[in-house]
Amino acid sequence: MKNKTKVLLISIATFLITFIGAVYFMVMNPFNIKIAPLVPDGRQAETGKRLEVSFTYKKQRLIASSQYAFWIEDMSGNYIDTVYVTQWTATGGFSYRPLSIPRWVSAATPEDMNEAKIDAISGATPRNGHYVFTWDFTDKNGNPAEDEEYRYFFEGTMNNEDAVIYTGIIITGTEARVETPVPAYTVQDSSYKRMLSNVQVTFIPG
C-alpha cells in the first residue's frame, strides 16, 4: 500500500510540474524574448554576402497597430525588394487602413503583387521577442543586386498615425560593418516606442 501511495504521489507531482510549466510558458512567453528567430521567407543565407537587421519586437495590443516592414531601395529610390512585411497589411489591410506602413505600401505597391510573392515576403505578426531578418542581395525577381550602395527602410505603425521608421545606407565591400540607425518618430512623446527597439543593421561581405 505504501508503494502504491508513493507511486501515486510521484505521478501527481509530475503532472503538476508539467501543467505549471505549460501554463507559465503560455502566460509569460509574450513577455520574454527567448524565442527562435523568425524566418520571414526562407531566404536567409548562412554564408555569402548578406544584410541582417536584428531588433526587439513588442506587440501593441491596439486595433491599428503592430504592422511593420523591412525593404530595400537603390540610391535613386527605386524599389528593390521586401525582406519582410506583416501579413495583414500585405494581404489587403493597406486598403482598409491607409495609415498602416504607408511608405512601404507606396514603395512596394502590394496591390500589384501576386499571392505567391506576398506569401514569400510576409508572415503573421509574431510574438514578443528578438528577431533577425536577412537580405541576400537579390531583387524582387530573384536576380543578384549588383550596385555598390543601397538604402534600407524599417517602418512600423505603432498606433494609427503614431509610427516609426529606421533608415540607412548599405555600402558593400570587403569589410563587415555594423550600425545602429536612429529612429524617426511621427509622435515624439509616443507611448509605443517599445514596439520596435534595439535595431541593429549588419553588412556581412561573405
Express each pLDDT in 103-152 by its tens digit. 999 999 999 999 999 999 999 878 899 999 999 999 999 999 988 899 99
Label the pairing between strands 122-123 and 79-86.
parallel
**Residues above pLDDT 70, as percent of the chain:** 77
Query: Whole-number mean pLDDT of the chain?
Result: 82
Q: Hey, what's the cell of 28?
A: 509569460
Residue 131 contacts residue 48 (beta carbons within 8 Å):
no
pLDDT value at position 125?
76
The pLDDT tens digits for 3-47 are 555 444 455 545 444 444 443 333 333 333 333 344 444 444 456
23 membership: H or E segment, kind and range: helix 2-28
**Residues above pLDDT 90, as percent of the chain:** 65
In whole angstroms, give the CA distance from residue 119 to residue 87: 8
Unique residue bearing C-alpha cell 506587440: 59
Partnered with residue 197 across adjacent β-strands are: 56
Q: Hey, what's the cell of 62?
A: 491596439
pLDDT value at position 169?
96
Residue 90 contacts residue 121 (beta carbons within 8 Å):
yes
pLDDT value at position 12?
53
Residue 139, C-beta contacts closer than 8 angstroms, at least 6 positions apart: 80, 81, 145
In whole angstroms, give the CA distance from residue 144 to residue 178: 22
- Determine how many CB atoms are found less than 10 A away from the CB of residue 172: 17
